Structure 1
Amino acid sequence: MLIEPTVPPRDAVRRITKSSQDCEPARVIMQIKRNADMHLARVQSEQDRIQQKVKTLRAKHQQKSDTLQELWEQRKLRHQQEVGELELELAGLEDKFEARWAEEEKALQEVLDKQDKRGQEAIAELETELLRQSDLLRNEVRSAEEESNTQAVDLKEVGESMEQELKARMEVKKQAMETSSDAEVRRFRGYREGNEKAAEHLMEEAKIFQQGINFLRETYSRTPRLPRKHPVAVAPVDVNSPYRRKGEKAVVTSRDAANRQTTYTFAVLLGSRASCEEMILLVTLLQLLGSNVQIPLWTFAAPTTGGRQVQSLDGQWRFQREKVTPQVCNATTFPEPLTGHCTGLLKQGRPEDGGPGNATACRAACCAESACNAWQWRPGSCWLGFLDIRSSCTGSGQWQGEGDPSRKPRKMMPGSPCWEDGCRSDLDDSHWRVVDVPHDFVVEGNFTPTADKSHGYLPYGIAWYRRKVCIPEAADIASGKRYAWLEFEGVMVRSQVWLNGVYLGGHGSGYTPFLVDLGVAKLTPDCSNVLAVHADATSPDGWWYDGGGIYRHVWLTVADPVHVAPWGVYAPARVSVPLRGAEANADAEVHPIVAFRNKRNATENLEVTCTVKTSGGAVVASQVSAATAAGNATTEISLRSLQMPGASLWSPAHPALYRLEVSISSTSSQDQVSVTFGVRTVAWDPNKGFVLNGVPTKILGTANHQDFAAVGVAVPDHLQVHRLRKLKEFGANGFRTAHNPHNEALLQAADEEGILVWAENHRNGQDEEMEVMIKRDRNHPSIVIWSICNENLCHSDDVVADAKRLKALAHRLDPLMGRPVSANYNDFNGNHTPMDVMGFDYSPETYDRWHAAAPEVPAISSETSSAYSDRGLVANDPAAGHVRDYDTEHPGWGETSQVAWQAILSRSFVAGGFTWTGWDYRGEPTPYQWPDVNSHFGVLDMAGFWKHRAYYYKACWTPPSTEYILHLLPHWNWEEHRCGDGCRRDAATGAMLVTVWAYSNAEEVELIHPNGTSMGKISASPCSHVSWEVPFLAGQLTAKGYVKGQVVQTAEVHTTGSPQSLRLRIKDGVGESGVIANGQDVALLSVDVLDAQGSIVPTASAMVTFAVEGGARILGTANGDPASLELNTSPQRPAFGGRLMAVLRPTAPASGAIRVTASSPGLTSDSLQLKVLPKAPKAAKHGQLIV
């Protein structure tokens, strides 16, 4: 604001004039002018100062505005996060409110009558008080009248006024209480009447039952004890089933010694539900009668429906691989050019991972793909798929590609008839090979350099599987009284399912389970139903080995028309009290959410029983609820929480597990399922990392594909436990399911072994796949984070939009277990990541920059290191395809184990990481190609033997307070011509100098030369190594680990003699107590090549043959050599580094013992004997015993 110049005050002018009367007018005018100029100058100076101040204020205001805007954006982001947290908290509060209301409802029910009575008593008391007050007032009036008539009149008026006011107030309060009481009465009258009726019903049933028992006792007391010639016929009885035939007659007939018949007729004794004790008592009394109980007796005891029955279909499949005719593939195969971008295609593997490396290879990949009519190529990427070319592709662009609009996928709907020989029900398949599933037919093939390296140089293909299925309830299934479906846990890659020549359905992914309904097929009530499965593995969907065939379990489920939906029980368990850290127990609650599937037209009223049990079977909590299942629909219902006082918390150190059993019953149906769950809290903090049960916990993980030696991807359930335990041996507590959902047995093993799981979806944008994975796996406490995709598999037509949609889907399906959503994809990282947690793909040098850009977003190294090596080797050998076993080798995108984990463990904001990989796996051989057929990345080799890097992780991940670790490498069997880059010749002395490393968590390590001299004591940094150059001398090399000057651990390597014998042992305890002859169980065998002193010869490569006597066979062998080209299923293989292993399976049925012998020319053989255990009941599926 500008200030206007002011005129001097009038009296000031007068003063000037008066003092200048004797002066000249000109001088007076000049003086006035000078004064005015001075005043104007001061005014101008003040204006300038004020203008400068205004500018300063404006600058400060703009700065403050910018700061406020930034704070607003930050607060807005925090607000959005808080809204999400508040929504979860609100859900929790709602659950608690419902639980509290349920508890208070009963109390309200109990006090209702008392409240009503109390209200009446209060009204009576108020009326009494009103009369008493009126009397007092009248007395006061009388007293006042005696003192003064005037005062009395006034007091009387006041009293009457007060009396009227009090009456009015009492009437209002009375009406309010009556209204409240009436409302409460109306509110609970239904409950009270229902309870009264239920009580009357129960009393009536108890009375009838007692009368029946008395009748039976009286009958028994006057009936002579007779020898029972005909045993009592006892039908199977489900004591939890509703019995609805009350009032029917039952007949008991018995015969005495003279064959005289006595018949007893009595009414049905049991009402709507019989307890186990009642059933036992009744059956016992009837048996004591010495009677032949006729079938009509059990019309009242047999359940009205059959409940759920689950049958394993793993055994006795007929298998045949289909011959694939090579297809001509050239420019004429796809007549229409596609230069514009086509949406809806899937990106293939990178060229460096074995994917198509140019446009011609991309076209050939589409020709080989049975579900492809269009391909497109841009430098470095190939895109394939089936689409409507006219509507899915833009008119122009920089893409290269071709399409064939006439090439369309065969469209089949459930109920379609068979169209080729393999699905015909009358096909003669007696000459086909018999196999059990899980089964991987690709792993059985011969290696060939013409096959794809990324898939392990094994030819893929197509196969048919067929078997007979017994369906005794076929008539009830056809009539709708029962409902049946098949569940395939996994068929690689694309599958079609047929029953009795009718198409049931199929699946386009090999990584997730799928269901097919039997209702469209014509069933027979015997074992002649023919199930046929077509498995097309011609175009694998990854750049690693993923096998082919029915490689996971198959189940047939028959249930009542109203049942719990598949994967329909969600059991989120939450700690209900604050944790101070390191508690092993805490009060908790589980909040069941159950989906009911009703295949009937009518709505069904259900009685739902939820029971929480410990892993030992002890009941923790139980409740009964009412629910409604809408007709021809799936209804999801949130049930009341069950309280778990002092629950054992799940953690890697103490993996405590519980089971939630859910039973439903209605007038037409009954069902029971159970799920395993654990109680734990999970939080992801941007500064502290991963917090489990209130304790910051570093995730020390490895990423892993799903294949195993000899069996490919068809890994027996028992070996999943073995795979995790081998990782735990060197300190791992985390497992990433790369790059797809793994099977249920792996996750169950993770729950039991205390492993923290990163559960990964296969492709971004695949909503159905993500939904199935989360519904199937969300009850596993081991899973602490969901992942939507990995690297190239994150690419889609709209990457960010698809990622956000999948993240929202995950939070909708799993809202209460604290799991965030991430991805192994660096393009998502930064301050605008659409993910809840940043997943770093290598690049440890960027951790700090990314954290600074997004300080509020938690972070984890989703994939790290990619160091590669081969067990025990000292030199790189490209011709042989071998990599030295020092932690020095890695691809350009990766880093050594030491660099990777020093970066992770030194930053608290990095929640942990997943080393690529824990196990070697088939395919993706890096850095070499043929003859290498599997990777070198693993900390363990394909046979499960430790590489030297395993000891690095053991030393890095093991606290010294727990155990001191010291490992010395390499071996001490040296031959100059095989030295390579593992040693060098000393120019001065001519001695062969060997590079020796030690891994240790001690403070210092000293090395003692075979000649007895010390090579020096070196300080050992955490998660690193110490090294020396040592002149080779045959003998023993010894290392000593020191802490505070004291030796705490020693290690040694020594020169061995030549191979003399074999040592055959059970490997890692798998099969130690025996093997079950059920067609699924296996034992692992290991062979060591020994010298005369019994030491393993680390350079031995003797050819070893396994021979079996008894009911078993060798499924395959492995030695850890990436360039071992023997057939995977061969019982013969050379040792690698002096060791190899075999997988043995009993052939069902089998009995007695199995004897296995390992032999090699010129070496002493060895044998061992295994016990064959009786066939035990198979594992439960959804809580039901498998038949």
Structure 2
Amino acid sequence: MTVTSFTAGWTHRAPTGPFASADREQVPPVVVRLPHDALRDESRRPDVPGRGAGAYYPPIARTYSKTFDVPAGWEGRIVRLEVQGAYRRAQVFVNNEFAGNRADGYARFFVDMTPFLRFGQPNEVRIEVRAGEDSRWYAGAGIHRPVLLHVDEPVHIAPDGVTVTTVRIEHDQAVVDVVTKIANRGLITRTVRVATRISDEHGAQVEGDESPATVPPGDVILVRQRLYIPQPALWSPSSPALHTADVSLAGSDDVTVTFGIRTVTVDPRKGLRINGEAVLLRGACIHSDNGPLGAAAIGRADERRIELLKAAGFNAIRAAHNPASIALLDACDKHGMLVMDEAFDMWTRFKTANDYAADFPQWWAADLASMVTKDRNHPSVIMYSLGNEIVEVGSGHGAGWARRMAEHVRDLDPTRLITNGINTFLAVVDELPSILEAGGGALNEAMANPEEGFNAISVSDAVTTRIEESSATLDVLGLNYADARYAVDREQLPHRIIVGSETMPSAIGRLWPMVIENPHVIGDFTWTGWDYLGEVGIGATAYAEDPDAVPGLEREYPYLTAWCGDLDITGWRRPLSFYREIVFGLRAEPYIAVQRPEHHDHTIAGRAPWGWSDSISSWAWPGYEGRPVTVEVYADADLVALLLDGDEIARAQIGTDRPMIAVLETEYRPGVLEAVAFTDGVETARTTLATPAEGVALSARVDRSVIRDTDADLAYVEIELHDPADRLVTSADRAVTVEVSGAGQLVGMCSANPRTEERFDSSTWRTFDGRALAVVRPTGVGAITVAVSADGLAGLSLHIDVAAQ
């Protein structure tokens, strides 16, 4: 087997042909390197059909094309295209002949190009995609994940044909099964020898086996080999040791897969255990977009996100609401991040005008198989989710769909848990009026607040009855915004195991003790761990004094992001992230956040339950000297004292309104602000926040000084405004320009500003709270120079080396 990257040399343009408008023929194609998002650089408008759900981007259609040579020596071999994700309704043509298609924009699929190839000459492959009003968030458009070319001998290991499963772990060894699927596309029976070698995390061979296999023409067989690995290093979130299995057919067909040796068990008394050790899921829901890159799933972007989420205290992610990319799973394997991979956002009922519900009845089984075969060698994946907030789960026929899907997944992979993210409100939405009437005034009053309303509905008899059957098909019941069921189910349904599959971020101080106290609840996944494009402003604070604010959940143009992540789209941790870390028990030091004083006397017209206070960690508010300001201190303590330049200016109990938070009123004066935490009258910890000194300078750092010339690598340049003491200056924002020369190009730039008309393909962005981010992609081996400049400030240069693959 030969597998090569097939990401270079593509072009994209608006569709052309006999039925296209004449002006489209005049638009030249644009050369791109995959993965690529064609929608990202389109102009946003307030009047597009999808409005804020899709970040005000328009619907588009695109044609991707590539010409490649097919050697004469390939005749007699099987040539396949592996498309890891093309959004959406992709159609693949080879030499202008239809060769395959896929409706789901996140499904990985293979196209057999063999019948359409012209050997010994150039060939063309074309992929058509179209997107619009098919998602409740920004999904992009284009070939947003890698494409690979497979060239196989007639007798070969099938794609996704090697599966490694941990059978058991003993005190001195691990037992694993290696199952290899071998296909014979030739005309004669062949006998091959299947050789398997297992190597440990250091690359040393620790086990192996070899056996013959006879494969008749047109047949596909399975070869099972049971191997015994002595004293293996186990994979876990704290110690993610990885092994490899190399499988070859008589030395001619070689496949290498990475795996981890670990066991996953769950029960309502002992909860989730990995290798026998109890684990609570400190989870983050994340969308698939990569901020300034749009929907492009470039490997380094996915890995950086996992690194930063892990550093912020998370040990699990939920891939909401579509299967994760291979690059993301590789990063989770490497860094010890647990994964709930999710299949669908809808089944048979539409949530948007043109979404996957139209395709689900025909494609569900194939798309589930695509997710499972992609995932089942990844030790990080511990749960498959069948869907998110599926309305059908409240009916018997919907439960039938859940059962069919669950058993299909178990046939493909019996080793992992199955869940479903159920929104109990939606499960009974058809009988909501009668539920409200039965609940009386208290329930109607609760409905004024989404968090309280969802919870009040969740414990109704109607919910208990209507989700019972579909929930019984699962290993773990995922509950979205229904934590009131935790205690109810512990008593009424003692065999039910629950995960908080989607929860309000601001409620973590209340929710995490519930997870700790209830062994049948195995974790919490906040919405969201990382900010994302679309569903604009669902976490933003709306002020009545803002003349542009539009009442409602979705905010007005030019809002760009949801503004509800613990980390913003640049990867910078927002105050809520540090609060969560304290709640998790992972941070002893207090944290200071300050509500923006320009809104101190404003009326909050709306604060979505997915939001946090409008605050940042800054004591730099020029122009507000002597004016009132609200300070938040997060700490696991009883009391906090606030000092300014050593003098106490305020004192407050912690936890009065929300666990582990004190809110203090004072006046702003420059200086050193200090928070001192006390428990039982004894100081336990303190932290400081200082006003920056006079003078502002540009600061920039690159995440890695050496990158590789691959389609998966990037360099991230973090740009900040600093004072002479190298402290961040949040109050002097200005436009910053980035120029890239040498063996790389600027492929994206942004700030964390949730409300902006700036473009990701621009080389100039205004900093937001003192920060901006630039992303550089290699274009060849050599050196890259990144020049950063801003009016009135001294410019600077960074150097990045690009090594060969």
The answer to whether 1:536 aligns with 2:169 is: no
State the alpha-carbon separation in 1 of the partners of residues 654 and 754 from structure 2: 35
Q: Tell me the CA shift for residue 502 of structure 1.
A: 2.1
2:560 is matched with 933
Aligned letter for 2:803? P
Query: Which sits farther off after the overlay, 1031-1040 or 609-618?
Result: 1031-1040
Kept after mapping to 1: 8 A contact 2:597/2:629: no
User: What is the aligned partner in structure 1 of residue 449 from structure 2?
Assistant: none
SS of 1:548's equivalent in the other structure is coil
1:486 to 70, 81, 93: 81
Which letter maps to 1:966? P
Partner of 1:566: 159
The residue number in structure 2 matching 1:1029 is: 665
Structure 2 contact 198–243 (Cα < 8 Å) conserved? yes
Could you tell me which amino acid in structure 1 is paired with residue 730 of structure 2? P
Shift, 1:709, TM fit: 2.0
Does 2:219 align with 1:633?
yes
Give yes or no for contact 1:1075–1:1170 (8 Å, CA) kept in 2. no
Match of 1:614 in 2: 200
Structure 2: runs of 5 or more not aligned = 348-360, 428-465, 539-552, 605-612, 615-624
* CA distance in 1 between partners of 2:769 and 2:673 (Å): 19
Q: CA deviation at 1:1170?
A: 1.7
Q: 1:1039 to 1:468 in 2, by over 3 A?
A: same
Whole-Å separation in 2 of the counterparts to 1:773 and 1:953: 31
Alignment of 1:95-494 (within 5 A): 308-322=1-15, 431-451=28-48, 452=50, 453-472=52-71, 474=72, 476-477=74-75, 480=76, 482-494=77-89
Match status 1:964 vs 2:591: no
Q: 1:729 to 1:531 in 2, by over 3 A?
A: same
Q: Distance in 2 between matches of 1:522 and 1:1155?
A: 42
* Deviation (angstroms), 1:734: 0.4
Q: Quick one: which amino acid aligns to residue 729 of structure 1?
A: A
Per-residue CA distance 1:450-479 (angstroms, 9 max, x = gap): 12221111112111111121221x4543xx
CA drift at 1:1043: 6.5
One-letter amino acid of the counterpart of residue 759, structure 2: L
- 2:665 counterpart SS class: strand
Matching residue within 1075, 1079, 1102 for 2:707:
1075
Does structure 2 conserve the Cα–Cα contact (< 8 Å) formed by 1:993 and 1:1029? yes
Query: Percent of aligned pairs with the same residue?
Result: 28
Partner amino acid, structure 2, of 1:779: N
- Which has more helix, going by share of residues? 1
Cα 1:640/1:1108, change in 2 over 3 Å: closer
Q: 1:784-838 CA deviation, whole Å, 9 max, x = no partner?
A: 11111111476799311111011111111112x2434444444474476322211
Q: Give me the whole-angstrom Cα distance separating, in 2, the residues matched to 1:1058 and 1:593.
A: 66
Matched residue type, 2:731: T
Q: Tell whether 2:580 aligns with 1:953.
A: yes
Rate the CA distance shift 1:909–1:420 in 2: closer, same or farther, 3 A.
same
2:791 aligns with 1161
Task: Give the superposition deviation at 1:549.
Answer: 0.7
Partner of 2:186: 600
Q: What SS does structure 2 have at the residue aligned with 1:1086?
A: strand
4+ runs of 1 displaced by more than 6 Å? 418-422, 427-430, 976-983, 1043-1046
Aligned counterparts, 1:1143-1162, within 5 A: 1143-1146=775-778, 1148-1151=779-782, 1153-1162=783-792
- Give the distance between the partners of 1:836 and 1:1078, measured in 2 at CA: 40
After superposition, the C-alpha distances for 1:121-158 in whole angstroms (9 at most, x for unaligned) are xxxxxxxxxxxxxxxxxxxxxxxxxxxxxxxxxxxxxx
Aligned with 2:485: secondary structure? helix
Conserved 8 A contact 2:705-2:801: no
Aligned to 1:689: 271
Matched, 1:590 2:176: yes
- Whether 2:603 is the aligned partner of 1:1008: answer no
Q: What is the deviation of 1:1106?
A: 1.3
- In the superposition, relative to structure 1, how do residues 1127 and 428 fare at CA in structure 2: closer, same or farther (>3 Å)? closer
Whichever residue aligns with residue 551 of structure 1, its letter is: H
Deviation at 1:662, TM superposition (A): 1.2
TM-score, length-scaled by structure 1 = 0.57
Alpha-carbon distance in 2 for matches of 1:604, 1:429:
53
Supply the AA of the counterpart residue of 1:610.
T
Structure in which a larger fraction of residues adopt strand:
2
Q: Which amino acid aligns with 2:707?
A: V
CA RMSD across the alignment: 2.9
- What CA deviation, in whole Å up to 9, does each residue of 1:3-46 have, x standing for no partner? xxxxxxxxxxxxxxxxxxxxxxxxxxxxxxxxxxxxxxxxxxxx
Structure 1 stretch 759-768 or stretch 442-451: which is displaced more?
759-768
Which has the greater radius of gyration?
Answer: 1
**Structure 2 residue matching 1:486: 3-state secondary structure:** strand
User: 2:36 is aligned with what amino acid?
Assistant: H
Aligned residues: 708
Q: Is the 8 A contact 2:384 2:416 kept in 1?
A: no
Q: Is the 8 A contact 1:1058 1:1097 kept in 2?
A: no
Q: Residues 658-715 of structure 1: CA distance to partner in whole angstroms, max 9, x if unpaired?
A: 11111123xxx93111211111111111123211111221000001011112211113
Residue deviations 1:222-261 (CA, integer Å, cap 9, x gap): xxxxxxxxxxxxxxxxxxxxxxxxxxxxxxxxxxxxxxxx
Give the SS at the match of 1:640.
Answer: strand
Write the distance in 1 (CA, Å) between the matches of 2:508 and 2:83. Answer: 39
Which amino acid in 1 is paired with 2:183? R
What is the aligned partner in structure 1 of residue 370 from structure 2?
Answer: 772
Matched, 1:901 2:512: yes
Partner AA of 2:749 in structure 1: T
Q: Tell me if structure 2 keeps the 8 A contact 1:1106–1:1156.
A: yes
The CA deviation at 1:996 is: 1.8
Query: 8 Å contact 2:570–2:751 — kept in the other structure?
Result: yes
Distance 1:726 1:947 in 2: 12
Structure 1 pair 560/1062, CA: closer, same or farther in 2 (3 Å)? same
Distance 1:784 1:644, change over 3 A: same
Structure 2 Cα separation of the partners of residues 1013 and 1027 of structure 1: 15
Residue 842 and residue 572 in structure 1: after superposition, are their counterparts in 2 closer, same or farther (change >3 A)?
same
- In structure 2, the residue matched to 1:1111 is 743
Q: 2:145 aligns with which of 542, 547, 552?
A: 552
The AA in structure 2 aligned to 1:662 is V
Task: Give 1:393's aligned residue.
Answer: none
Q: 1:759 to 1:646 in 2, by over 3 A?
A: same
1:255 corresponds in structure 2 to none
Q: Partners of 1:677 and 1:741 in 2: how far apart?
A: 19
Specify the SS of the correspondent of 1:844: coil
Aligned to 2:243: 658
Query: 1:1121 — aligned with what?
Result: 753
CA separation in 2, counterparts of 1:1034 and 1:428? 61
CA distance in 2, matches of 1:488, 1:938: 30
- Between the aligned partners of 2:679 and 2:634, the Cα distance in structure 1 is 15
Q: Which letter maps to 2:253?
A: D
In the aligned structure 1, how far is the partner of 2:58 from the partner of 2:694?
A: 39
Given that 2:421 and 2:480 are in contact with CA atoms closer than 8 Å, whether structure 1 keeps it comes out as no
Q: Is 1:742 aligned to residue 324 of structure 2? A: yes
Q: Does the C-alpha gap of structure 1 residues 863 and 974 become closer, same or farther in structure 2, counting only changes over 3 Å?
A: closer
Structure 2 vs 1, CA of residues 688 and 594 (structure 1 numbering), >3 Å: closer, same or farther? same
Counterpart selection for 2:523 from 902, 912, 924: 912
SS at 2:566's partner residue? coil
Between the two structures, name the one with larger relative contact order (CA 8 Å, sep ≥ 6): 2
SS of aligned partner of 1:318: strand
TM-score (norm. length: structure 2): 0.82
Alpha-carbon separation, structure 2, partners of 1:598 and 1:419: 41
Q: Say if 1:1107 and 1:743 are closer, same or farther in 2 by CA, change over 3 A.
A: same
Kept in 2: contact 1:1059–1:1097 (CA 8 A)? no
How far has the Cα of 1:754 moved from its partner?
0.6
Instruction: Give the whole-Å Cα distance in 1 for the aligned partners of 2:497 and 2:422.
Output: 14
Structure 1 stretches of 5 or more lacking a match? 1-307, 324-417, 578-584, 868-886, 888-895, 984-989, 1177-1187
Moved more, 939-948 or 1035-1044: 1035-1044
Which letter does structure 2 place at the counterpart of 1:862?
S
**Quick one: structure 1 residues 977 and 1091, their matched pair in 2 at CA, closer, same or farther if it must change by over 3 Å?**
farther
Residue identity opposite 2:787 in structure 1: T
